[in-house]
Structures are given as C-alpha cells and as structure tokens.
Amino acid sequence: MIINIETGRCTSPVGALLGAIVINNAYIAINNLGNLLKASGRFQEAESCYMQALSIHPEFAAGYNNLGLVLRDQARLEDAAAAFLCALQHNPNLVPALNNLGLVYK
C-alpha cells in the first residue's frame, strides 16, 4: 500500500501509477505499471504497457528489455530475442538485456 501524503488515504501501487500516468503520461510510470502487471501474471496487459512506453520514448532500452521478458514469459522467444537486441542497440552496456538474450538461446 501507498499512503498519499496530501489525503492520508492508502492506495494500491497500481492506483498510484495510474494516477501518475494520467498526470504526466510518463513512459517510466507506464513501464512500471507494466512491471506490476507482469508480476501479477497479466502478461498481455504488461506487454501493452511496455509498447505504450516505447511509443512515447523509442530509445528506452530498459523498456525493450522488459518487453523481451514478458514476451519470453509467453514463450514468444523470437520476439523476445528481437526486443533484447533492440535494447542492446539503444544501450550496448545494458547487461541484463545481454544476459536475457543469452538465456533465450540457451
């Protein structure tokens, strides 16, 4: 739970992130919502969030890595590998993407 300092009310992490998205339309908040959805097993919704975040900020390497992870979790290995490669194109030093790419080909 998250406590809103202004209202003193508790809200869920999803609710807090949805509020941030409405206020800022920020790719980071959308990506983080994707992370929460992925952790909840809501893979298609998470994928949609990652795609939306990448449409806002196409150079967001960590977003491609997260997209690759959710695609891998859906056994879409070729798509996952492509996402990890995009992450590495935007940030060749993103070690998690390199590791995840290797795991796809394991």
Which pTM does this prediction carry?
0.77
Which amino acid, residue 6?
E
pLDDT number for residue 40: 95
Name the nearest CA neighbour of 94 among 59, 62, 70.
Answer: 62
Positive/negative CA dihedral, 64, 66, 69, 75 = negative
Q: What is the pLDDT of residues 23-35, one digit of tens each?
A: 555 899 899 999 9
Look at residue 29 in the predicted model and tell me its pLDDT: 87
Contacts of 60 (CB under 8 A, 6+ apart): 27, 31, 53, 54, 90
Task: Measure CA of the first residue to CA of the last residue in the chain; give whole Å.
Answer: 38
User: pLDDT by residue (tens digit) across 64-77?
Assistant: 999 999 999 999 99
